[in-house]
Amino acid sequence: MSDIVGASGRSLLIPCIAPKSIQNFTLSWRFSQGRHPSVLLTYDSRTRQTSSSWEGQVKLDQQQVLLGNGSLRLLSPESGENTGSYTCTFSAFQTRHVVQTWVNVTGPETAPMTGQKETDLWIVAVIVGLLGLLVIAIFICRRRRARSEQKDQVIEDTEMQPMQPVKPVNEPTAQGHHLTEDRKDTYT
């Protein structure tokens, strides 16, 4: 018995291939979740008629079945209803071929695509982190610019103040001192 796992609501193909070319055969599919299997589909190659108790839930490729491919497609399986044992039987004169497959239909939360949600969360986390860094960088740049403008204002204020010479209290001016010395030299 082979095993197949499928996701709820997604189409699923259950393989059943006859080992050799057979003529004038009937194909039947049975389903069981316990001890009592039920016939869900039959096909007769002579009349090319299909009868199904699961109308609208399963599909058989009419062209492929004539070539010995009796694979059954579950169109929209549900986890509780369609998980179980599927048995395919090709019957012809002195020939019988049986294939059993266990099908496990998982709910959407445990389907194989759950890794996609984790990837999406990582992408969102990276974007939020980058936006946070951008906001911090803008805040730092504005703060530095404000400090720089404040420093420039202080420098301008000190440069624009008038300068007043500082005079010593008891010393004569240098000009007056030279004049006095020059006068002494000229009169002597």
Segments making up each domain of the chain, as ranges:
2-110, 113-158
Where b means 16+ CB within 10 Å and e means fewer, 72-107 reads bebeebebeebbbebbbbbeeeeeebebebebebbe
- What does the pLDDT look like over 52-102, one tens digit per residue? 999 999 999 999 999 999 999 999 999 888 999 999 999 998 899 999 999
- pTM value? 0.56
Q: What is the pLDDT of residue 110?
A: 47
**In the chain, % of residues over pLDDT 70:** 76
- Model confidence at 111: pLDDT above 50: no
Please tell me the class of the 2-110 domain.
mainly beta
Banded pLDDT at 146 (limits 50, 70, 90)? confident
Rounded (10°) CA dihedral 45, 50, 92, 24: -10
**Residues 126-145 as b or e (16 or more Cβ within 10 Å = b):** eeeeeeeeeeeeeeeeeeee
